[in-house]
Homo-oligomer: A and B are copies of this chain.
Amino acid sequence: MSLLVVGSIALDSVETPTAVREDVLGGSAVFFSYAASYFSPVRLVGVVGEDWPAEHTKLLADRGIDTSGLQVVRGAETFRWRGKYLPNMNDRETLEVHLNVFGEFDPVLPEAYKRCEFLFLANGSPTLQMKVLDQLPGARLRVADTMDLWIKTQHDELMQLLKRIDGLVMNDSEAKLLTEDENLVRAGHKIRAMGPKFVVIKKGEHGAMFFSEHETYVMPGYPTPDVVDPTGAGDSFAGGMMGYLAERGDFEPKTLKEALAYGTIVASFNVEDFSLDRMRQIEREDLEQRMSDYRRMLSF
């Protein structure tokens, strides 16, 4: 099944306790689509400025990602983000955000994209996310991410969005903010009651929790000693998850659980280097090896 992702495309500057990288390839839709590309064809919708290096588009295209939905705006600059990780490598500070072209982004889907059946709405306002939903009335599975900014500034629009999607993926702190509940089990079910059939709460290094009408479960993070840069972990998690669902072509409870596990595994590789650098070194086979290790870890 084909998978469509709409979200941010960025040039990230990342500071960790031991290194700094300037203007490296990043953005939610980029991490997502690269991670998903191990499993299924991906179609990308996003916007960049004139400063966008063509080699980045080539890198994505070489993974089989369809970039015909990538808008390049002349005379404008690409979205930039600068962040700094604390020594625990889990908490971070945003130092600078320049929305640039992403601030005016109006997602227009190419005709060929409109038959996509699996849709992921990555980082973007609920208003923007709903514009995409309007163009894809036939989607079989619609999943969105959201973040603190939209919970605070577009609460009503977010509530409308939640009634129109099948699944929501978000961070633990955002789930607490949205529900004003500090217990994640209660928070997960409260969000489900707002509309989506299932909710996935990402807990960073501690893994992810899943909530549906009949199921509540936790998947731990894969324990890696080599955390170099956590940027994009949540997006690569979502990419692995949605990519696997699209590959399988269904979203039955069993498939969803396997999808969360694949998301966990892809994210565990992603954090092992800056930008897409670690993912660029691996193949599906590496994911499968770590996956069987993960399965063994969890069986007793």
Chain A contact residues, CB within 8 Å of chain B: 87-89, 182-186, 189, 203, 205-207, 209, 216-225, 227, 254, 257-258, 261, 295, 297-300
* Residue from the list B87, B185, B222, B258 in contact with A223, Cβ < 8 A: B185
A241 to chain B, nearest CB (A): 13
Cβ of A120 to closest chain B Cβ, rounded Å: 21
The reply to whether A225 and B87 contact each other, CB–CB distance below 8 Å, is no
What is the oligomeric copy number?
2
Given contacts A218-B220, A219-B220, A223-B217, contact A300 B257 (CB under 8 A): yes
CB distance from A80 to the nearest CB of B (A): 28
A225 touching B185 in the complex, CB below 8 Å, given contacts A203-B206, A220-B218, A220-B219: yes
5 contacts between A and B (CB under 8 A): A88-B182, A203-B206, A209-B223, A217-B297, A218-B220
When A and B form their complex, which 3 residue pairs have the shortest distance between CB atoms, in order from nearest?
A218-B220, A185-B225, A206-B206
In the assembly, what is the distance between CA of A87 and CA of B185, in Å?
15
Per the bound structure, the CA–CA distance linking A218 and B264 in Å amounts to 13
Contacts of A225 in B (CB 8 A): 183, 185-186, 189
Inter-chain contact B218/A297, CB cutoff 8 Å: yes
Quote the shortest CB–CB distance from A181 to chain B (angstroms). 9
Q: Which residues of B contact A207 (CB under 8 A)?
A: 206, 218, 220
- Which of B87, B89, B182, B203 lies in contact with A87, CB distance below 8 A? B182
A297 CA / B261 CA spacing, docked (Å): 12
> In the docked arrangement, what's the CA distance between A86 and B295, Å?
35
Which B residues are CB-close (under 8 A) to A299?
298-299
Task: For the complex, give the distance between the alpha carbons of A224 and B189 in Å.
Answer: 12
Q: Which of chain B's residues has its CB closest to A176's CB?
A: B88
In the assembled complex, the CB of A283 is this many whole angstroms from the nearest CB of chain B, namely 22
Given the contacts A87-B182, A182-B87, A227-B183, A218 and B217 also touching, CB distance less than 8 Å: no
Residues from chain B with Cβ under 8 Å of A295 in the complex: 300
Q: A260 — nearest CB in chain B belongs to which residue?
A: B300
Closest to A297 in B: B217
> Please, how many angstroms separate the alpha-carbon atoms of A204 and B27 in the complex?
32
Contacts of A205 in B (CB 8 A): 184
Residue in B closest to A256 when the chains form the complex, CB atoms = B300
Report the Cα distance A229→B299, complex, angstroms. 29
Closest chain B residue, CB of each to CB of A227: B183
